[in-house]
């Protein structure tokens, strides 16, 4: 017997609320994904800042954006 997974093509919206931190402190940003059903099938690959700078895991130094 095989498992069947239904796939529905649906648009979803991802938002990040503004976060603030002083230099050298930790800022935690979280994605808000709607509809909630998309969360289980979505992974964050990068962040795009307002100035068009793309932040990826490779651009981090020891897990930090400097």
Backbone φ, ψ for residue 63 (5° rounding): 80, 10
In this structure, the strands spanning 54-56 and 13-16 are unpaired
- Given this model, what pLDDT does residue 11 score? 78
In percent, the amount of the chain with pLDDT more than 70 equals 89
- Given this model, what pLDDT does residue 16 score? 81
13-43 confidence digits (pLDDT tens): 788 877 778 888 877 777 788 887 777 777 7
Confidence at 61, pLDDT banded by 50, 70, 90:
low
- Given this model, what pLDDT does residue 51 score? 92
The pair of structure tokens assigned to 2 is 């095989």
């Amino acid at each position: 017997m095989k498992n069947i997974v239904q796939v529905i093509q649906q648009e979803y919206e991802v938002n990040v609320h503004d976060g603030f931190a002083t230099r050298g402190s930790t800022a935690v940003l979280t994605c808000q994904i709607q509809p909630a059903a998309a969360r289980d099938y979505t992974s964050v690959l990068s962040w795009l800042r307002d100035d068009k700078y793309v932040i990826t895991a490779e651009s981090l130094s020891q897990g930090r954006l400097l």
